[in-house]
Chains A and B, each alone.
Chain A
Amino acid sequence: MVTPIHLVSVALGTAFLLGFTKDRNWKISGGLVLLALLLMNLISGSWTYALFFGDQVPVQVFTAGFKPPFSINLQMGRFEAAITLMINFAGLLGAIYLFDRLKKAGRYAFMVYMVFILGLNVAVMTRDLFNLFVFMEITTIATAGLIFLVQTGKAAAAGLKYMIATSIISGVLLIGIIFAYSLVSTLNLDGIIDGGLPLIKGGAMVVFLILIALLLESKPFPANGWGLDVYESAHPGIGAMLSVATGPMIAYVIFKVLPISGGAWNHLIAITGIITFVGSNFLAIKQHNTQRLLGYSSVAQAGILLIAIGLQKELGHTFIYVAAGLLMTNYFAKAGLFWLSGLIKGESLQDWTQLKGRPVLLFLFGLFVFSLAGFPPSPAFFAKWELIMQLASHGGYVWMVFILIGSFFELIYLTRWFGQVIGSKEKSSAQPDLATHRLVPVGIMGVGLLGTMVFFLHHYAPDLAIDFIPIIFIAALFILDFLPAFLKNTVTILAMGWYLLQHISDVQNDTVRLIFFLIFLAGGAISLLAGFSYKGKRIGYYPFVAMTFVGLTGLVTATTTLGFFLSWELMALGSYLLISRGKNAQKTSWIYILFSVGGAYLLLMGFGVSFAVTGDGLLSSLGIAARALPAVGILLTIGFLSKIAAMGLHIWLPGAYAEAEDDATPFIAGIMMNAGIFGLILSLSIIAGHPFTWWLGWLGVITAVGGNILAAFQEDAKKLIAYSSIGIMGYILFALSMNIQMAWMAALYYVVLHFLYKTILFLAVGGVIFRTKTREMYQMGGLIKKMPLSFISVLIGIIALAGIPPLAGFGGKWLFYNAVVMNGWYLQGALVFFSGVVAFLYCFKLISAIFLGQAKDRYRHIKEAPVWYILPQYLLIIGLLIFSVLPELVLQPVAHALRSMPGEGIQWDGHFAQTSFGYWNAFIVMTVIAIMFVILLAWLILNSRKAQKVKQFDMVFAGETPFTPETSHVAYNIYAPFNKALGFLVVPVTTWFWHATASVTDASANHLRKWYNGNGQTYALQMVIYIVMFYLIIRGGF
């Protein structure tokens, strides 16, 4: 293969050749530059291939025909090859992207660009310290030249700030180098490392000077004002090069030079990395300018890369994958975003709404944002997972917490940005300029990112232990998104059915998993039927649905913690995207994703701690870990609590369910909530007797009481049912926190019951909303005459919900009573029953406000809910009836599964269930009530055969007052007295708390970012302060 030195000769040769051309014949100069970049790509590409896949060994290139200590040598190892390839590839695409801008600026611009790429390449390859200084200086001056490409006053100021800062850095570096030479009398890096600087007197100071200079070059948090101003004012193409080419170069230079400190500086670098990562992400929250936001994000990515470099000893063999994951994600995603921002006219985040109506660009934008945020299957997800696991296993819990806090801030501004683009209603008038030569690089970056995703998925396959067909199915749906909606709906339902039959066998033995498996897949398929009532393409709906269900089934079939966590995050992302499709769901979906990923990070911590204790990532080993360290169980439980919206973590739920589309809410509420329950079962089974569960019991009670009371005061139908879900989750949480078999049986019984009637209610209400186009109950009323089928299903739903005998609800109450008395939590039990009675209130409000009372005249010609809404409801009602009459179908297998739990179970003979406290025969209760009801109905019909039907406005006979203005709906604020009496219980303390935290973070982020006041001199001062503080800390021997 050609020696790497030709990278230099090609680049410089072309740069000097450009001198011959004039500005007019830009075709020649442009062609030359692209040809040179292509050649350089070929060289580094061939070396990378040979080093990684061939049997090539890293090679030293000598210059001037002498051995290293006497001359400068370049090294081409695996790292150098990969990073030079990245630089050259980004350089080539950057040149294509910036072609028209460079052409306008003339041949000088081409020269400066070529020298910029050259400087980066050699800085990565050189092994001589002074040579490194020279070529970093070349890169600096070339960057300064490129910053001014946009020829604006702002760019000139930013350029000067950049020059001032980098000149101070190079001065300090030069002093460091010359003193290093005077101590170890060599300038070759390997020579200096062997020379053992820290041991020589005064050597520590030299190491300080060199490393502080390199550290400042990577724009550490408090002293990087100059870096951010450059990102803000330079051309997006140049910003991209700074972030994806210069960034990796500096990171690798630090990695290369770090050994001169003999390992003393590893943790120092990691600490500065953490401060940068958390600080920049925190300040990025309040950014409105796109470029500056991307600047903050690039600085933060450089920070987390520093953490990985600083902790390379702890990371051991996984360091390569962590570094590669972080580097590749930032490389593809950040370049893509910068180049996309070049297309958009206007600087603020709001202007990105120009992307609406362009599915391909939107897909790319979403792909870049979510892979940066670390959602699966992006490489950053695997990198962060590996980082957390290794950190935990080395007891670095503090590091872990900070990294997660930093990534949470990152998540805040990335999802808010995505929300602003997808959610906002008004579309900015300007049109993005879609020149092909600007679109192609963005597209290539997208393809590159997908390629790396496939690679990382393949690499982590053994740890994931999930099969990849579902993930391929999601990708297929993304591609097939142009098909009409009903086709995609049938495909999804059939696929789910096929997957159910295919994989039912491997969850067969474990009843708990079987129940959830059936709920997720069978329930999901049924509730998807409602999708047929929608026409058109519904771009994006079905891939997100597929993502959610793949995540859900992944939870059940996962055997390793990584598989479980990947499915969890996939489900969170899928459901977030689904909810954000809602008309005004921008804010609520944002709150939803923040809470669910906040919970996911707690899970990650829990898995980390368990990995630290047991060393293997298996779900089964969580139990062992929990016994050794209960924190595992507690962390997992709190994480899952945020998913089932326990009181205090619940403010996302009503908004998310209400704003989601009407046919999406049934399976988001009815089915996805059970994911949290499945998790809770997992986490509570491992911390069974822990006193923490006592507090959990009380939390369950508060959630049940609070949820139900809040539900009673809602005027929005979907919000009412959403709050009732919180109430029922409180029930289940309360049952699960009791460590006796009967309680867990009650919990699982409730899971099945809740799935059935919640989906029925949401489907029915969805059907009604589909027709009436409004969610406010006081705008409906009197629909029983026009929509009898919906009325019946809601009636059955609320009877089951309130626990009234003939139906399955009573069975749950009965089990609950037995469990409470057996476990001895009497007071909590009583309060939970109080909330049960309160449930009766909102059940009645739901059915009476919508169906009973006086009909509005605008619904005179309203039709019954579409058939595709009614069909799934009645399928589920049949299921509910079977379940009500024969509860033992579910209870006996569950009892068998829970036999290992303490406490006595139920003795069955036929339909008769017997416990030490009481007995219950569902079959006979149903038949007795049915017969009695029929007899009495016959008795009434006998007596009132001649009853005369009366219309609503029949003034003579009916007491119904004629139609009055809309708002005076009888059922409006029906429980005002109840609110006056017990309203104090549900003063929205939690909502106030979460909004207070949000505004505090916003305010402090807004205040702190004033640290960068735009004055170049202040930035220089900040840098000198940073050097002095660092020195004092080291001198103080912290």
Chain B
Amino acid sequence: MYKKLFVLLLLAVLGWSFFTLLQTHQERQSLNPLSKHYVEKGPDEVGAPNLVTAIVVTYRGFDTLGEVTILFVSAAIVGLFLKTENRRRKYKIRSTSEILHAAQRLLFPVMILFGIYIFMNGHLTPGGGFQGGAVIATAMILVLLTNPESPISHRAFNLLESVSGFSYIIIGVLGVLLAGGFLDNHILPLGKFGNLFSAGAIPLIYSFVGLKVGSELSSIILNLNDVQKDDK
């Protein structure tokens, strides 16, 4: 009981310190110089209407590279931890209802298409690699829900993940060789502002990121799902 009281007191002091931080904070009236630069020059330099994507993919592309590595490592660790069980064992599962099967057959292609749409148009409309990948992963969950033994092979996802990751690195290195620096999107022509194939390599990078995130999250789910049955 005393422990809880003590923690409460502790959090009260922490809260008070955050409160003092908040008090000094003034809501800005205009954009700060850095973001003003991005907003004004962004479209010309990078050619992507969606400024957030512009920052995420090119300006701070190195962060996104780090970001993808984090997901890659998490997927690898989940795989490392749950690898001990052998995969291809037959096990009895109660069958799912017919309605679920029908819905799944209808929804699955739509969701995949929706996911691809999101990361293809990352630079035009809100969305991008991460969101697209997540939608694809949810599609996978739907499949696994309806049929846990579905023959989705791990190999396929791993290959997809490695291909997209490696090509992401190739684009980065190309940036160094051809254009200004690592992950620069000027290796491809900026094209007309606003249509699909514009803003240099951004759509290419973001689709690879989308594929990679999608396959990683699905491999995490697959790892978790495959061990559905209790293991000896």
Contact = CB atoms under 8 A, between A and B. Distances in A.
> Does chain A touch chain B in the assembled complex, meaning CB atoms less than 8 Å apart?
yes
Contact of A138 (B14, B24, B73): B73
A134 B162 contact: no
B113 interface: no
Interface string B66-108: 1101101110110111010000000000000000000000000
A991 interface: no
B34 A109 contact: no
A65 B25 contact: no
Given A109-B80, A131-B66, A182-B25, A65 B10 contact: no
A145 B34 CA distance: 37
Of listed B33, B38, B172, residue having the most chain A CB within 10 A: B172
A1024 B14 CA distance: 9
Interface in A1006-1038: 1021, 1024-1025, 1027-1028, 1031-1032, 1035
B187 to A, nearest CB: 10
Of listed B21, B62, B161, B184, residue having the most chain A CB within 10 A: B62
A63 B162 contact: no
Interface string B153-186: 0000011011001101100110110011111111
A141 B162 contact: no
Interface in B36-65: 37-38, 45, 58-63, 65
B32 interface: yes
Interface stretch (A8-16, A232-240, A890-898): A8-16
A179 interface: yes
A684 B183 CA distance: 71
B79 A64 contact: no
A20 B162 contact: yes
B62 A131 contact: yes
B228 interface: no
B225 interface: no
B17 interface: yes
B17 A205 contact: yes
A135 B67 CA distance: 9
Given A12-B65, A70-B59, A108-B80, A64 B72 contact: no
Contact of B74 (A66, A131, A141): A141
B183 A64 contact: yes
A383 interface: no
B167 to A, nearest CB: 9
A148 interface: yes
A245 interface: no
A21 to B, nearest CB: 9
A1031 B24 contact: no
Contacts of A20: 158-159, 162
B150 interface: no
Given A9-B172, A144-B77, A185-B32, A16 B72 contact: yes
A552 B182 CA distance: 60
A771 to B, nearest CB: 66
Nearest to B185: A64
Contact of A16 (B21, B34, B166): B166
A106 B83 contact: yes
A71 B66 contact: no
Contact of A63 (B20, B73, B159, B181): B181
A534 interface: no
A801 to B, nearest CB: 68
A145 B81 CA distance: 8
A139 to B, nearest CB: 10
Given A64-B175, A205-B17, A72 B60 contact: yes
Contacts of B38: 70
Contacts of A18: 162
A112 B69 CA distance: 10
B13 interface: yes
A765 interface: no
B76 A1024 contact: no
A1027 B66 contact: no
Given A131-B63, A186-B34, A62 B181 contact: yes
Contacts of A185: 32-35
Interface in A99-140: 105-106, 108-109, 111-112, 115, 118-119, 122, 126, 128, 130-131, 134-135, 137-138
Contacts of B81: 148
A132 to B, nearest CB: 10
Contacts of B45: 66
Contacts of A138: 66, 69-70, 73
Contacts of A145: 73, 76-77, 80
B25 A12 contact: no
Interface residues of B, number: 58
A5 B172 CA distance: 10
Contact of A142 (B73, B172, B182, B186): B73
B89 to A, nearest CB: 18
Contacts, number: 176
Contacts of A484: none
Interface residues of A, number: 62
B29 to A, nearest CB: 13
B7 interface: yes
B70 A141 contact: yes
Contact of B76 (A6, A112, A182, A1031): A112
A106 B79 CA distance: 10
Nearest to B70: A138
A112 B77 contact: yes
Of listed B7, B34, B182, residue having the most chain A CB within 10 A: B182
A17 B170 CA distance: 12
Given A16-B165, A20-B159, A65 B175 contact: yes
Given A63-B61, A138-B70, A205 B20 contact: yes
A883 to B, nearest CB: 76
A135 B182 CA distance: 17
A711 B42 CA distance: 90
Interface string A790-804: 000000000000000
A201 B24 contact: yes
A19 B180 contact: no
Contact of B66 (A15, A61, A134): A134
Contacts of A3: 176
Contact of A65 (B20, B32, B66, B181): B181
A206 B166 CA distance: 38
Nearest to A179: B21
Nearest to A109: B80
B105 to A, nearest CB: 31
B34 A137 contact: no
Contact of B166 (A13, A61, A63, A126): A13
Contacts of A5: 176, 181-182
A262 interface: no
A202 interface: yes
A497 interface: no
Given A64-B183, A70-B37, A115 B158 contact: no
A788 interface: no
A69 interface: yes
A62 B77 contact: no
A1028 B14 contact: yes
Contacts of B179: 65
29 contacts: A9-B182, A12-B65, A15-B165, A16-B165, A17-B162, A20-B162, A63-B62, A63-B183, A64-B175, A64-B182, A66-B180, A69-B34, A70-B34, A70-B37, A70-B38, A72-B60, A72-B62, A112-B73, A115-B69, A128-B62, A138-B70, A138-B73, A141-B70, A182-B25, A185-B34, A202-B21, A206-B21, A1021-B10, A1028-B10
Interface of B: 7, 10, 13-14, 17, 20-21, 23-25, 28, 32-35, 37-38, 45, 58-63, 65-67, 69-70, 72-74, 76-77, 79-81, 83, 158-159, 161-162, 165-166, 168-169, 172-173, 175-176, 179-186
Given A12-B165, A65-B175, A71-B58, 19 more contacts: A9-B169, A12-B169, A15-B72, A16-B165, A17-B162, A19-B158, A62-B180, A66-B59, A70-B59, A72-B60, A106-B80, A108-B76, A126-B62, A131-B62, A137-B66, A138-B66, A142-B73, A205-B17, A1028-B17
